[in-house]
Amino acid sequence: MIKKYSELKQLKTFEERYDYLRLLGAVGKDTFGFDRYLNQSFYHSFEWRRARDLVIIRDNGCDLGISGFEIRDKILIHHMNPIRIEDLKDGNKDVLNPNFLICTSPRTHQAIHYGDKSLLPLLPVERRPGDTSLW
């Protein structure tokens, strides 16, 4: 199943978006192995930096593009469809297409890849008068 931002934005809650993106990967499993130079070169390219900036602007720097989840840490751009070695070797333009990218915080990115919901940010508690009263 190809995941797309155009579908993701139809999901209103953070949890729905997380469930849509979740990969359930294995810790320590190499994606590029000896070909890691390919993705390192890609992530330092002008084209990637431009695509990254466009996604950050589109998502207003919010985790999974949800208002109220502003990222105050490093902003990571998550490829909704994992990149393969062939994508970089063959110059697949989908790796730069904003329809396949989303802003995430480092913790959310880890949760997406490894399926650990405990890493997800919590909604702020709405405070009400007297909610801290002891009696």
List, for residues 18-52, the tens digit of each pLDDT value: 999 998 775 555 567 667 788 889 999 999 999 99
Q: Rounded to the nearest 5°, which phi and psi values hold at 119?
A: -80, -15
Positive or negative, the CA dihedral 126, 68, 6, 40 is negative
Cα separation, 105 vs 75, in Å, equals 5
Judged against a pLDDT cut of 80, whether residue 123 lies above it is answered with no
Token digits of residue 97? 């297409």
Domain extent at residue 85: 16-116
Decide if 110 is inside a domain.
yes
pLDDT at 133: 66
Decide if 6 is inside a domain.
no
Kindly state the percentage of the chain with pLDDT values over 70: 88
Cα–Cα nearest to 112, from 82, 87, 91:
82
Token digits of residue 104? 């995430």
What is this structure's pTM? 0.84
Decide if 133 is inside a domain.
no
Element (H, E) at 103: strand 101-104
Decide if 21 is inside a domain.
yes
Decide if 128 is inside a domain.
no
Decide if 4 is inside a domain.
no
The angle formed by the CA atoms of residues 66, 69 and 70, to the nearest 5 degrees, is: 110
Decide if 7 is inside a domain.
no
Domain count, the chain: 1
Decide if 86 is inside a domain.
yes
Alpha carbons within 13 angstroms on the beta-carbon side of residue 1 total 8
